[in-house]
Amino acid sequence: MDEVYEFLVTKSGIKYKETVILGISGGPDSMALLHLFLKLKKEMDLDLVCAHINHNVRKESDEEEEFVKSYCHKNGVIFESFKIQKYGDDNFENEARHMRYTFFEKIINKYGAKYLITAHHGDDLMETILMRIARGSTLKGYSGFSKMITKKNYKIIRPFITKTKQELLDYVKKNKIDYRIDKTNFDDSHTRNRYRKVVLPFFKKEDENVHLKFLKYSQTLLEYYNYVENLTKEQEKRIVNYRTIDLEKFNKLDHLLQTKIIYNLLESIYGDDLFFISDAHTDLLFNLIKSSKVNSWVHLPNNIIAVKSYNKLSFREQKEEQEEYEIQLDGIVNLPNAMNIEIIKNSNITSNFCTRLSTKDVVLPLYVRSRKNGDKIIIKNMLGSKKIKDIFIDSKISADKRKLWPIVCDATGRIVWLPGLKKSKFDKAKNEVYDIILKYY
């Protein structure tokens, strides 16, 4: 830990008598961080503030909060906590992260601090990079996260980025530091845990210092990102006006700069929610730009709509009261009800959340739209048709959800699927011939 300590004293920018905010969960990583800063506190006369999040999803959460609180009181560290009372319907990890950093900023402002320190380490960086490579991201996204980030009025510092998880465990063991274990870190239902348990051990077996190679990779990508960013800003001054792109000028640019302009716009719109955007969404936008239609649009996450009107592409928020929609099914569609329909290559799903179709039976392109009066579907393995309204009633779908519930039709207007509820006569079994697979999630 000597080089980490040296970095914090000489290169981090932290000055004597500074107030520093520490993100402390009570796990081995963050308790190692707190222990290290207690040494710094004595040497630099620092005021330390522990910011603890009680995620309130396990029975041990309250005990862990009390453990961290007690440890801080014994060591002269100011303790601040926030207990999450309720989660929404979004991805749990993303929602928890958003609330966590919102709380951190509140504490930063309360104490007038200039530094937020977190215990993210080299293994965390590897996991983040690999997950984003698998999912698809931006040049900056592929770099994972940085050792230091400058925000508007403070800096985030991750001093353990050069250390592995095992090194931190060795540190807490050597120094007899008490900590708590979050059992959800072993739950394979979380994507990150699967990377941690299966993928990382392979890389570490190949090279025990592979985390430093990932750090170099991250830093190299950021250098290229910053260079391209400067070029992009020059073009944005003449092409982008607020959230509107001049497509006539845009189409003359190299594809790399086009992509960067699109991502910069999306980043300005989504901010910390940029993780909602994947390659599939940028593909949708480029298809929209290239489309011969002079007036068309695509739906993006969080009720954002990209609208093409002649030589302009603009982004706007969809009004919540909007209840009618019709979207061409191309790749992935983010629906107004916060769900998605995606054209996929393979699936073992046999429930109503997946359908298999043949272009011999349906006419392309496919569309997804809201319900219309009198809508009927010929249900698979049933004689005659049934009203969509009756299916909603039978399935006990509330009136407010019916308004935005997706209905998939072919180009002739025939309903070929009621996602999540019923398959039509056009659905194919896994052992039959089909060339389209749709997934609703």
61-74 residue pLDDT tens: 899 999 999 999 99
Q: Give the CA count within 13 Å in the CB-facing half-sphere of 102.
A: 12
Mean pLDDT across 152-156: 93
pLDDT of 147 > 60? The answer is: yes
Reading the block at residue 421, the tokens are 């509820």
Mean pLDDT across 305-332: 82
pLDDT confidence band for 345 (50 / 70 / 90): very high
Give pLDDT, residue 90.
52
Mean pLDDT across 319-328: 72
Exposed/middle/buried for 99, CB within 10 Å: 0-12, 13-18, 19+? middle
Q: Where in the chain is the domain with CATH 3.30.465.60?
A: 242-318
Q: Determine the Cα–Cα distance for residues 80 and 69; give it in Å rounded to an integer.
A: 8
For the ranges 241-255, 279-293, 420-434, the lowest mean pLDDT is seen at: 279-293
412-424 residue pLDDT tens: 999 999 999 999 9
Q: Determine the Cα–Cα distance for residues 294 and 291; give it in Å rounded to an integer.
A: 8
Q: Determine the Cα–Cα distance for residues 81 and 69; give it in Å rounded to an integer.
A: 9
109-133 residue pLDDT tens: 999 999 999 999 999 999 999 999 9
pLDDT of 84 > 90? The answer is: no
95-111 residue pLDDT tens: 777 888 889 999 999 99
Q: Which helix (H) or strand (E) holds 218?
A: helix 210-239
Cβ neighbours around 369 below 10 Å, total: 17
pLDDT of 179 > 70? The answer is: yes
Q: Where in the chain is the domain with CATH 3.50.40.10?
A: 327-440
CATH code of the domain occupying 327-440: 3.50.40.10
Give pLDDT, residue 55.
84
Pairing verdict, β 78-83 and 47-54: parallel
Q: Determine the Cα–Cα distance for residues 215 and 219; give it in Å rounded to an integer.
A: 6
Task: Please name which of 248, 282, 289 lies closest in space to residue 265, comparing C-alpha atoms.
Answer: 282
pLDDT of 386 > 90? The answer is: yes
pLDDT of 228 > 70? The answer is: yes
The number of helices, as runs of H, and strands, as runs of E, in the chain is 15, 22
| Arithmetic mean of pLDDT over the chain | 90
Give pLDDT, residue 112.
95
Distances (CA, A) of 209 to 174, 200, 221, 390: 21, 12, 19, 61
Q: Where in the chain is the domain with CATH 3.40.50.620?
A: 2-217
Distances (CA, A) of 407 to 79, 285, 395: 52, 23, 15
Reading the block at residue 96, the tokens are 């928890």
Asked if 182 and 25 touch (Cβ cutoff 8 Å), the reply is yes
Q: What topology is assigned to 242-318 in CATH?
A: 3.30.465
Task: Please name which of 146, 122, 159 lies closest in space to residue 33, comparing C-alpha atoms.
Answer: 159
The residue written with tokens 């996450």 in the block is 301
Give pLDDT, residue 92.
62
Q: What topology is assigned to 2-217 in CATH?
A: Rossmann fold (3.40.50)
Q: What are phi and psi of 130, to 5 degrees?
A: -65, -40
Share of the chain above pLDDT 90, in %: 68
Q: Determine the Cα–Cα distance for residues 205 and 209; give it in Å rounded to an integer.
A: 10
- Give the predicted TM-score (pTM) of the model: 0.62
- Bridge partners of 42, per DSSP, are none
pLDDT of 321 > 70? The answer is: no
Asked if 391 and 421 touch (Cβ cutoff 8 Å), the reply is yes
Q: Which residues contact 413 (CB under 8 A, 6 or more apart)?
A: none
Cβ neighbours around 174 below 10 Å, total: 9
pLDDT confidence band for 400 (50 / 70 / 90): confident
